[in-house]
Structure 1
Amino acid sequence: MSNPAGLDTPLDTLPQTAAPMARAIVAASIGTAFEWYDFALYGSLATVLAAKFFSGVDAGTAFIFALLTFAVGFMIRPLGALVFGRIGDMIGRKRTFVVTICLMGGATIGVGFLPTYASAGIVAPVVLICLRMIQGLAAGGEYTGALTYVAEHSPNRRRGLNVSWTTAAATAGLLISFLVILAARQLTGEAFDVWGWRLPFVGSIVMLVVSLALRLRMEESPVFQQLRRDKRLSKAPIKETFLDPVNLRRLLIAFTLCAGETAMYYLAALYPTFFLTQTLKVDPKLVNTVVLLATVVCLPMFPLSGWLCDRIGRKPVFMIGFVVSALLVFPVFHGFVRFANPALALAQDSAPITVETDPSACSLMFNPLGTRRFTSPCDTAKQALATAGVSYRVVEASAGRRDAVIRVGDSTLTTSNSSTLTSVEAKAQAARTAAQLRALLTAHGYPAQSDPSNVNAPMVFLLIVVLFAFSIMTVMPIGPALVEMFPTRIRYTSMSVPYNLAAGWVGGLLPTFVFAISAQTGNMFSGLWYPVGWVVVSLIVLIFFFRETRDVDISAID
């Protein structure tokens, strides 16, 4: 590759005016850890926050709405990428870092002081969404900026390893959030769901102070400094990013690769918590402990994968990660059911659930605002089953049948149309149906909660570790690959856009889509096809369109 940035001197021989490598890694990584600490707090506490801020709707809808609010912070990240990517390419990486860390920290601390729906009504979730949007804006310029900063300090053949520490910092942020949540639960006991959940958010002020202190001591990257000395900085990085046909092709390839790795990483790092607590009804404290330990064990995979990227290339590591992790998804989540809630697994095998009805009368069971009424017999049956948290399948009833029959093993429960009932009458009927269904499920061995004494925690731990470890192999090559794909003068903007678009609209929506798809189909595993589908698309692009970048000198990219 030639050199659009006008840099004739290889990075390894640039004047060493920047901070030492170790200090550059620490300064960039601490902000990344803080970013993921913030996002992991909301993800891990989604069930609690759903009850606090969306209590005006039913429990299932409240949880989906809470996941959507979680996704809002990700969905706005592309806008943050444009804003802060442009700033980073025009005035420097360091100044951008200081702004993003302050925005991120202020928004996180603010969540800890918010009034709940019970005390402030609709104002509470509105302000929560606004704070999540601020977090998303800041995050849009944070992680890719950190990758750029570290990579621009690194020698060519150590770039993968050096960047791996910054990528690992994201998981370290997850780890710290789990530790803080566990500590808060231990400290507040039963009061955690009342007020103790606020402590992890308010306590983030400590990380903000440390992060800001380190960021203020950072020096600009050597590559950017030379661009500035040569007066070769881009005056319109957004225009150059999108109007150059060659760069546009790079953007499309980068987005596809980012979409696959983001989908798999978020599935492995975040969705097991949702699945185990919300679907399998496992004790949240036990889940947090197991996930925390699995995260600790998997941390060495980051430098190992980074080292492999430097030794065998970005493309082979991508390939291994995509193929193996995609093959593991369904066996791992089926294993969660077997080992985390064996009574549920046994009941599903011995007394499978079906809904016999007219499938054309079944609605889309997505109700984020809680304003829709589901009145058909099919909808009534599906809503009751979704609330109970069990899998089922819909089969077509005999012609002319207007009601719906829930069949659990050899027992049945009939539901009817409620469109002629008043709102009060409909709620009363739904409550009776739910109670009758619960009695029926209990009679056939379906547990209301997972029995902690029957949870095989070591096997759950092992399953998380295996999936998480290979998902890291999909994540690790993306940092050095993105840095090496784009010219220096527009690197911050060009990297930030595809990465944050994928992180926001694929990864951020992943828990919502997986949960909603499973709720709609009645199968707790069907939503897993969403991330697997993205991985398959990424694998195709990787094989046919991605060129190996391991030997690229980023100070001489055209």
Structure 2
Amino acid sequence: MGTIFEWYDFYLYGLLATILTTQFFSGVNETTGFIFALAAFAAGFFVRPFGALVFGRIGDLVGRKNTFLVTMGIMGFSTFAVGLLPSYKTAGVAAPVMLVVLRLLQGLALGGQYGGAATYVAEHAPDNKRGFYTSFIQTTATLGLFATLLVVIGTRTAIGEEAFADWGWRIPFLASILLLGVSLWIRLQLNESPVYQQMKDSGTTSKAPLTEAFGNWGNLRIVLIALFGAVAGQAVVWYTGQFYALFFLEKTMKLDGYTANIMIAVALALGTPFFVFFGWLSDRIGRKKIILAGCLLAAMTYFPLFHALAGAVNPALARAQSAAPVTVAADPADCSVQFDPIGKNKFDAHSCDVVKAYVAKAGISYENRALAVGSPAQLIIGNTALPAPDAAALASPAKADAIKSFQERAGSALKTAGYPAKANSAQANMPLAILILTILVLYVTMVYGPIAALLVELFPARIRYTSMSLPYHIGNGWFGGFLPTIAFAIVAANGNIYAGLWYPIVVAVLTVVIGILFLREPRDHHVPS
């Protein structure tokens, strides 16, 4: 229960990323603002390995229970403080800076949390049921996200979308102070792990866990194999199936946040029991083969599944993309990547920028076609070609008028071709969309359900907290946590709304190859002491 609440705190930001873009990153263009919001989401993941080192060392030195209490306090108060932050309109650039600082504190706390929870449960489990026991810890990340969805959906329903976007988004953050109290009470009831208590009584605990874990090549080699042969693939499948899918629905498919939340919540409710099933199954057939099978299935099916999801959620958009595909024809030298880190580029220097800035903001998938040097850019919608103005050759206010005229003509052409401004939930095939989302969650359960047991069994008890925490949090913090940011940056650079899927696919395939070649199956081994 305590771990569920900790995940609730951490993932609340991710669930509200679209709204927080407006609240904290309104000083840049819309595409950059959303990528920045995802980067702030990822900031918490960036420091997770450092939290793993700090708190993993403490956990191996002084015990599992006390480390739980420290990480919970940091996480809870940081989450509560997000609900008190001023917006960009009120405090300017100080607002996103404070937000990132709080996300960093959350990441440090979570970096010390998971290894302790998994180790604590595993050290209570019988050898032949370790996958089953630890799979309940694996459900907590998804159950935490599910709890977040319920609170967000309940708040949205109670006060309405307009009020929620304005100020109501703060309520779930502020409510976390209640969860903090419950979580701390739960943690205070726990006794120390029997394995750790036995080591402490016999004086065999590690005096230098970082040196033993990473200064010894034999153990460091296992850390690296665990990272690249299991956790990296697990991480990208996890974040694609839950967070990237949510961002795809809201940002790319233009589905309203309430409906997207409901769909994800239903898929999580249907899929969550399979964490326990695959944990149980791993006790019988092995951890490695289930994890690698999940990575392989995901890599093979992501493209068709997300295409089918788009067709189910926004059928009008899917029909328009098929009947009247969009192409940006331009001189490549005149085109900028639609990402502006400092918020100064208005993307109006050249005709290509004018076109791409418009389609990026509209969330329209497009292909690129190179034209001769110096040729003005064109937006081609089906058989209709719209020349874009060369804004660099114009002075204000003529530049602004020319860009506005082009955008109006482009908007009219897209509407004529059937491109909707946003998804119409009444037209969506909800059962099919939920089925697809549930399949994505099932992949998550395959890779995530057995991972705790696998990691615990790879390392000796005296340095287990430290050893397993680092690969887990590098994998999930960096490979997984940066997935939405990297994927949407790829989409912004490429133009194809599905191009971001290449990142999780490549990482998942690499994990399958490395796992097959180098990762040993730890099942049937006693947890080493």
Amino acid at match of 1:33: I
Which structure 2 segments of 5+ residues have no match? none
> Is structure 2 residue 208 aligned with structure 1 residue 221?
no
> Is structure 2 residue 348 aligned with structure 1 residue 367?
no
> What SS does structure 1 have at the residue aligned with 2:524?
coil
Q: 1:137 to 1:432 in 2, by over 3 A?
A: farther
Paired with 1:240 and 1:380, the residues of 2 have a C-alpha distance of 57
> Is structure 2 residue 216 aligned with structure 1 residue 280?
no
> What SS does structure 1 have at the residue aligned with 2:379?
strand
Amino acid at match of 1:135: Q
Amino acid at match of 1:250: I
> What SS does structure 1 have at the residue aligned with 2:167?
coil
Q: 1:287 to 1:537 in 2, by over 3 A?
A: same
1:527 alignment partner, one of 478, 486, 500: 500
Does the aligned pair in 2 maintain the 1:98–1:215 contact within 8 Å?
yes
Does the aligned pair in 2 maintain the 1:107–1:132 contact within 8 Å?
yes
Question: How far does the alpha carbon of each residue in 1:265-317 deviate from its partner, in whole angstroms, 9 at most, with x for none?
Answer: 11001111100111010121111111111111111101100110101111221
5 Å-filtered alignment, 1:21-32, equals: 30-32=1-3
Structure 1 residue 325 displacement after superposition: 2.1
TM-score (norm 2): 0.97
1:266 alignment partner, one of 214, 221, 239: 239
1:492 alignment partner, one of 465, 472, 483: 465
Structure 1 residue 490 displacement after superposition: 1.0
Paired with 2:98 and 2:436, the residues of 1 have a C-alpha distance of 38
Does the aligned pair in 1 maintain the 2:389–2:403 contact within 8 Å?
no
Does the aligned pair in 1 maintain the 2:460–2:527 contact within 8 Å?
yes
> What SS does structure 1 have at the residue aligned with 2:293?
helix
> Is structure 2 residue 240 aligned with structure 1 residue 240?
no
Mean CA deviation greater in 313-322 or 457-466: 313-322
Q: 1:54 to 1:542 in 2, by over 3 A?
A: same
Does the aligned pair in 2 maintain the 1:408–1:441 contact within 8 Å?
yes
Q: 1:548 to 1:355 in 2, by over 3 A?
A: same
Structure 1 residue 366 displacement after superposition: 2.0
Tell me the equivalent position of 1:388: 362
Paired with 1:551 and 1:339, the residues of 2 have a C-alpha distance of 44
Q: 1:243 to 1:282 in 2, by over 3 A?
A: same
> Is structure 2 residue 104 aligned with structure 1 residue 130?
no
Does the aligned pair in 1 maintain the 2:292–2:511 contact within 8 Å?
no
Question: How far does the alpha carbon of each residue in 1:351-408 deviate from its partner, in whole angstroms, 9 at most, with x for none?
Answer: 11111112233233221321235323222211111111111111122x3442101110
Structure 1 residue 420 displacement after superposition: 4.8
Provide the aligned C-alpha RMSD in A: 1.4
Tell me the equivalent position of 1:140: 111
Tell me the equivalent position of 1:417: 390
Number of residue pairs matched by the alignment: 526
Which structure 1 segments of 5+ residues have no match? 1-29
Question: How far does the alpha carbon of each residue in 1:239-283 deviate from its partner, in whole angstroms, 9 at most, with x for none?
Answer: 222210111111111111111000001100111110011101012
Does the aligned pair in 2 maintain the 1:388–1:438 contact within 8 Å?
no
> Is structure 2 residue 92 aligned with structure 1 residue 118?
no
Tell me the equivalent position of 1:35: 6
2:416 alignment partner, one of 440, 443, 450: 443
5 Å-filtered alignment, 1:33-432, equals: 33-189=4-160, 190-256=162-228, 257-374=230-347, 375-397=349-371, 399-421=372-394, 429-432=402-405
Amino acid at match of 2:217: P
Does the aligned pair in 1 maintain the 2:389–2:406 contact within 8 Å?
no
> What SS does structure 1 have at the residue aligned with 2:304?
helix
Amino acid at match of 1:47: T
Structure 1 residue 319 displacement after superposition: 2.8
> Is structure 2 residue 482 aligned with structure 1 residue 471?
no
Paired with 1:477 and 1:346, the residues of 2 have a C-alpha distance of 40
Amino acid at match of 1:384: Y
Q: What is the identity percentage for the equivalent residue pairs of Structure 1 and Structure 2?
A: 46
1:460 alignment partner, one of 402, 425, 433: 433
Tell me the equivalent position of 2:520: 547
> What SS does structure 2 have at the residue aligned with 1:394?
strand
Question: How far does the alpha carbon of each residue in 1:211-265 deviate from its partner, in whole angstroms, 9 at most, with x for none?
Answer: 1001011111111111111211112111222210111111111111111000001
Amino acid at match of 1:116: S
Does the aligned pair in 1 maintain the 2:31–2:338 contact within 8 Å?
no
Question: How far does the alpha carbon of each residue in 1:410-432 deviate from its partner, in whole angstroms, 9 at most, with x for none?
Answer: 11111243335567765554444
Question: How far does the alpha carbon of each residue in 1:194-220 deviate from its partner, in whole angstroms, 9 at most, with x for none?
Answer: 111111111111211111001011111
Structure 1 residue 477 displacement after superposition: 1.9
Paired with 1:105 and 1:427, the residues of 2 have a C-alpha distance of 47
> What SS does structure 2 have at the residue aligned with 1:390?
coil
Amino acid at match of 1:48: I
Paired with 2:528 and 2:374, the residues of 1 have a C-alpha distance of 71
Mean CA deviation greater in 413-422 or 478-487: 413-422
> What SS does structure 2 have at the residue aligned with 1:363?
coil
Question: How far does the alpha carbon of each residue in 1:468-498 deviate from its partner, in whole angstroms, 9 at most, with x for none?
Answer: 1122101122111110111111111111111
> What SS does structure 1 have at the residue aligned with 2:207?
coil
Mean CA deviation greater in 365-374 or 353-362: 365-374
Question: How far does the alpha carbon of each residue in 1:485-537 deviate from its partner, in whole angstroms, 9 at most, with x for none?
Answer: 11111111111111111112111110111111012111000110100111001
Does the aligned pair in 1 maintain the 2:274–2:442 contact within 8 Å?
yes
